[in-house]
Chain A
Amino acid sequence: MFGTKQKLETSKNQKQVTLLDNKELSRDHMQKESAIREPLILGDKTYHQITEDVCAPVEGKANKYWYMVFGLSVVVALWGLGCITYTIGRGIGTWGLNTTVDWAWDITNFVWWVGIGHAGTLISAVLLLFRQKWRMAINRSAEAMTIFAVMMAALFPGIHMGRIWMAYWVFPLPNQFGSLWVNFNSPLLWDVFAISTYFSVSLVFWYIGLIPDFATIRDRAVKPVSKMAYSVLSFGWTGNAKAWIRFEEVSLVLAGLATPLVFSVHSIVSMDFATSVIPGWHTTIFPPYFVAGAIFSGFAMVQTLLLMVRKLLHLENYITVKHGEYMNIVIVITGSIVGVAYLSELFISWYSGVEYEGYAFRNRATGPYWWAYWSMMTCNVITPQLFWFKKIRTSLVASFILSIFVNIGMWFERFVIIVTSLHRDYIPSNWTMFHPTFVDIGIFIGTIGIFFTLFLLFSRFFPVLALNELKSILKSSGDNYKKKENHE
């Protein structure tokens, strides 16, 4: 009996030793990186230098370019807020909607902003699960972008309701009219749950990552006001061993939870259309096609913003050309998926033999909104294909211009889907056109202003790069460390 127990103990110990060896091995494996892989942190950086570089925009004074862009964003944001106030005061009649086209710029803008909001969580969650180290330099600002974009998105259905003070009716609350509940069979309600879950989970994910970096700024702060502010924001983070274990576990599990969330949210947004019986909307291809489109537009917006942040905050050593190239590769892949989806839609509209479906697509390409359709095709399918050329995808100027093209193209995609499908009703006497009013345009441009205002404030007061994550890859992906290792 005793002998058996001892044998068991020995085998248990041996198992622990092997487990330890395996863990040690995997640790070594994680830390060493192929020599041909390009470095992700350029220059002769140390842990302290990373802190200095990332904290510089927070601790120092903003440069004149920051003030110029910020000033412009605030002016545009105020114009947008004015138009929103006007809408709430006067009603939806101030927009260009009519009885045939009763969804237009508002829902176009909603889907556009939600789509943009997909890249942040994709970068922080999906790329974390795939152990992509290049996400470290871009995840923080991409997540911030997600949060601000989803805020802008949620604004549109809110004000579209007309009586925004009754917006809480979208939630399943017992109300004064008896026990009449919201309709759980409706994709519009699924949207309420999807968007609020997506927003709040992204916010928590972002904030948990920010806490250790706020602690770094807190411990460096000289001025009492900033010391106090960052003390509150850092929640008393100490950075002890167990806290880091929990931090890593929470990040991993949140990434695991957020990954299907990314795919579910835009699938549900697409079902707002796909579950209806409007020709052009009623297609089963919508969920994957919308998700690909969302990632496509989100990465384009991240590219636009990061190239600006890189220049404005002098972060050339962290947001490198390689980062830009990786993002362009994602853009060209998702852009190609979107292109294939467009062509499949066209093919099916002909192959199905359904008259209405066939007309809806012929009308898109050759009807009165042909210019919107062809803008969409050019910006989403044709121009991103230029990224197959290494010279173009490693050129920052070309990346910036093409990313803006994608942003424009994706806006047109939503406009084409929504407006062209609606403006030709089943009865030709109902056929009409949609003309946006200055309020429609003002609110849309205004949300871009609000978005940029929030993003610029973020870049001024928050660490725009994930300090702790960058430090954890310095020895494996830092230029100076890689050179030293190759030399040995």
Chain B
Amino acid sequence: MSKAIYALYDDDEIMVEGAKSILSKNIRIKDVYSPFPIHGLENVLGIKWTRLAITAFLYGLTATTLALIGMYYFMIEDWPMNIGGKPSMNLYQNLPAFIPITFEFTVLCAAHGMAITYFVRNGLFPGMPARNPHPRTTDDHFAIEIMKDENGGISDDEIRTILQDTNPVEIFEK
């Protein structure tokens, strides 16, 4: 027994118009699959913007703190060295020399932390099976996914009729 109905389109603009008309008929769209990002689609579907940038900031902030604490410990607390007549006395005096590594470490952790969060949130791992409904949604087709059990009041045939009015190239169930 299939759980979802899909409408497949061959143009992004037709698909976006289709999505608007489907939503106006009070049918819930579960997801949309496309071969490239479609700007403005999130407003149509009412998807909240991602907070990945905030995570990057937090990872960066952690890294800045860690880098400064680390260098303070290595260079001033644990084993102070006097190289070329430049003693390591306190953080304030050494700070200019610590800036490059603080910066690099901040970028390193912010970038990798955000990338890892991105993989986890998107469920992207080596060997994960492909879950896109149609192989051409990564090529030149666009699919709208509608879950049957999320539209209790509307029958499958009615959904199909509404989808048919949005000019898809194909309607299928999966």
Chain A residues near B (Cβ < 8 Å): 20, 23-24, 27, 30, 46-48, 51, 172, 178-187, 189-190, 193-194, 196-197, 200-201, 204-205, 208, 211-212, 215-216, 218-220, 231-250, 252-254, 257-258, 260-261, 264, 268, 271, 467-469, 471-472
Nearest B residue to A214, CB-CB: B138
Residues from chain B with Cβ under 8 Å of A218 in the complex: 130, 138
Residues from chain B with Cβ under 8 Å of A258 in the complex: 107, 111
Answer yes or no: B78 CB below 8 A from chain A CBs.
yes
17 A–B pairs (Cβ distance < 8 Å), ordered by A: A23-B40, A27-B39, A182-B74, A184-B74, A184-B94, A185-B86, A193-B105, A204-B112, A219-B135, A232-B126, A234-B130, A236-B124, A237-B124, A239-B137, A241-B41, A244-B34, A244-B36
Residues from chain A with Cβ under 8 Å of B122 in the complex: 237, 242-243, 246
**Complex CA–CA separation, A30 to B40 (angstroms):** 11
**Complex CA–CA separation, A242 to B118 (angstroms):** 11
User: B13-57 interface mask toward A, CB cutoff 8 Å, 1 = contact, 0 = none?
Assistant: 000000000000000000111111111111101010110110010
Q: Tell me if B74 and A246 are in contact (CB < 8 A).
A: no
* Interchain CB contact (< 8 A) of B75 among A51, A181, A187: A181
Nearest A residue to B86, CB-CB: A185
**Complex CA–CA separation, A220 to B140 (angstroms):** 12
Chain B residues near A (Cβ < 8 Å): 31-43, 45, 47, 49-50, 52-53, 56, 70-71, 74-75, 78-79, 81, 83, 86, 88, 94, 97-98, 100-101, 103-105, 107-108, 110-112, 114-115, 118-119, 121-132, 135-140
**Complex CA–CA separation, A212 to B119 (angstroms):** 13
* Interchain CB contact (< 8 A) of B140 among A47, A200, A472: A47
Nearest A residue to B31, CB-CB: A240
Q: Enumerate the 3 nearest inter-chain pairs by beta-carbon distance, A residue then B residue, closest first.
A: A236-B128, A47-B140, A219-B135
Q: Tell me if A235 and B128 are in contact (CB < 8 A).
A: yes
Q: Tell me if B34 and A241 are in contact (CB < 8 A).
A: yes
**Complex CA–CA separation, A162 to B31 (angstroms):** 57
Contacts known (A179-B78, A239-B138); A185 close to B112, Cβ less than 8 A: no
**Complex CA–CA separation, A205 to B128 (angstroms):** 20
Q: Tell me if A219 and B47 are in contact (CB < 8 A).
A: no
Nearest B residue to A204, CB-CB: B115
* Interchain CB contact (< 8 A) of A468 among B31, B32, B37, B132: B37
Contacts known (A194-B100, A241-B34); A249 close to B132, Cβ less than 8 A: no
**Complex CA–CA separation, A365 to B50 (angstroms):** 57
**Complex CA–CA separation, A181 to B80 (angstroms):** 9
Q: Tell me if B114 and A254 are in contact (CB < 8 A).
A: yes
Contacts known (A172-B70, A184-B75); A216 close to B128, Cβ less than 8 A: no
Q: Tell me if A219 and B132 are in contact (CB < 8 A).
A: yes
Residues from chain A with Cβ under 8 Å of B81 in the complex: 183
Nearest A residue to B98, CB-CB: A184
**Complex CA–CA separation, A469 to B136 (angstroms):** 17
Which of A48, A197, A232, A260 gathers the greatest number of chain B CB atoms within 10 Å?
A197
Q: Tell me if B39 and A249 are in contact (CB < 8 A).
A: no
Residues from chain A with Cβ under 8 Å of B140 in the complex: 46-48, 51, 471
* Interchain CB contact (< 8 A) of A236 among B100, B105, B123: B123
**Complex CA–CA separation, A233 to B127 (angstroms):** 8
Residues from chain A with Cβ under 8 Å of B111 in the complex: 200-201, 204-205, 254, 257-258
**Complex CA–CA separation, A24 to B17 (angstroms):** 13
Residues from chain A with Cβ under 8 Å of B131 in the complex: 236, 238
Residues from chain B with Cβ under 8 Å of A187 in the complex: 100
Identify 18 new A-B residue pairs, CB closer than 8 A, beyond the known A236-B124, A249-B49. A48-B139, A172-B70, A194-B100, A196-B108, A208-B115, A212-B36, A216-B35, A219-B135, A231-B129, A236-B127, A236-B128, A237-B124, A239-B138, A241-B32, A241-B38, A250-B114, A258-B107, A260-B103
Q: Tell me if B39 and A261 are in contact (CB < 8 A).
A: no
Q: Tell me if A185 and B138 are in contact (CB < 8 A).
A: no
Nearest B residue to A28, CB-CB: B40
Residues from chain B with Cβ under 8 Å of A471 in the complex: 35-36, 140
User: What is the minimal beta-carbon distance from B130 to any residue of chain A, in angstroms?
Assistant: 6
Residues from chain A with Cβ under 8 Å of B112 in the complex: 200-201, 204
**Complex CA–CA separation, A390 to B137 (angstroms):** 42
Q: Tell me if A185 and B135 are in contact (CB < 8 A).
A: no
Residues from chain B with Cβ under 8 Å of A208 in the complex: 115, 118
Nearest A residue to B99, CB-CB: A190
Residues from chain A with Cβ under 8 Å of B94 in the complex: 184-185
Residues from chain A with Cβ under 8 Å of B71 in the complex: 184
Nearest B residue to A242, CB-CB: B47
Contacts known (A190-B101, A235-B124, A241-B32); A27 close to B40, Cβ less than 8 A: yes
Residues from chain A with Cβ under 8 Å of B86 in the complex: 185
Q: Tell me if A184 and B97 are in contact (CB < 8 A).
A: yes
Q: Tell me if B124 and A181 are in contact (CB < 8 A).
A: no
Contacts known (A236-B124, A253-B114); A241 close to B135, Cβ less than 8 A: no
Residues from chain B with Cβ under 8 Å of A254 in the complex: 111, 114-115
Residues from chain A with Cβ under 8 Å of B98 in the complex: 184
Q: Tell me if B138 and A216 are in contact (CB < 8 A).
A: yes
Contacts known (A219-B130, A250-B52); A260 close to B107, Cβ less than 8 A: yes
Which of B35, B94, B118, B127 gathers the greatest number of chain A CB atoms within 10 Å?
B35
Q: Tell me if A181 and B115 are in contact (CB < 8 A).
A: no
Q: Tell me if A24 and B118 are in contact (CB < 8 A).
A: no
Nearest A residue to B52, CB-CB: A249
User: What is the minimal beta-carbon distance from A256 to any residue of chain B, in angstroms?
Assistant: 9
* Interchain CB contact (< 8 A) of B38 among A231, A244, A469: A244
User: What is the minimal beta-carbon distance from A409 to any residue of chain B, in angstroms?
Assistant: 28
* Interchain CB contact (< 8 A) of B83 among A30, A183, A248: A183
Residues from chain B with Cβ under 8 Å of A236 in the complex: 123-125, 127-131
Q: Tell me if A211 and B124 are in contact (CB < 8 A).
A: yes
